[in-house]
Structure 1
Amino acid sequence: MRSDLAAQLFGELLVNAAIIAAPLLICTLLVGLVVSVLQVVTQIQETSLTFIPKLIAAVLVLIVAGPWMLKRLAEYATRLIANIPNYL
């Protein structure tokens, strides 16, 4: 395997990983930001208050976007495995 091919495959892997993880990361970031603002406004400093809403949001995102994430990951893996003879 040539090094340029390995670098290209690794780059494609990183792009797919970022695209798949983006909905979950963005949602938990936004929920965390909203909860933090509410904590500052109400002066309630409870650690579980930030954890529980982010956990619920993450579960909801996985329920909604999970099939899309799994489909994208399966397509990438299928394409990668199918092209193994071309890589040699």
Structure 2
Amino acid sequence: MSQEMVLRWAEQGVFVTLIISGPLLIAALAIGLGVSIFQATTQIQEQTLAFIPKIAGVMIALIIFGPWMLTQLLTFAESIFGNLHEFIG
């Protein structure tokens, strides 16, 4: 097993991690921005106000994007286990 192979698998692992976490992070970011704008315009400075919409939004995004995320993760895991013979020797 060469250094290039290890770096390639590590790069793919980081890329899959970013791809899988992307939709949830974008949903949390968008909802947080919306709540922040709402708080700024209404001058409500309650810090706990942002948590409930973010949690609900991330759960909805997880329901919507969950099957796609699982497919990406399973594809990566299958490619690792399918090439297991390359890791040995």
Give TM-score scaled by structure 1 length. 0.95
Q: Which amino acid aligns with 2:19?
A: I
Matched, 1:30 2:14: no
Q: Show structure 1 runs of 4+ deviating over 3 A.
A: none
Q: In structure 1, how many angstroms separate the alpha carbons of the residues matched to 2:61 and 2:33?
A: 17
Structure 2 residues without counterparts, runs of 5 or longer: none
Corresponding residue for residue 78 of structure 1 = 78
Structure 1 residues without counterparts, runs of 5 or longer: none
Give the superposition deviation at 1:43: 0.6
Q: For residues 1-88 of structure 1, what are the structure 2 equivalents within 5 Å?
A: 1-88=1-88
Q: Which amino acid aligns with 1:64?
A: I
Give TM-score scaled by structure 2 length. 0.94
Q: In structure 2, how many angstroms separate the alpha carbons of the residues matched to 1:11 and 1:71?
A: 19
Give the superposition deviation at 1:86: 2.3
% of aligned pairs identical?
38
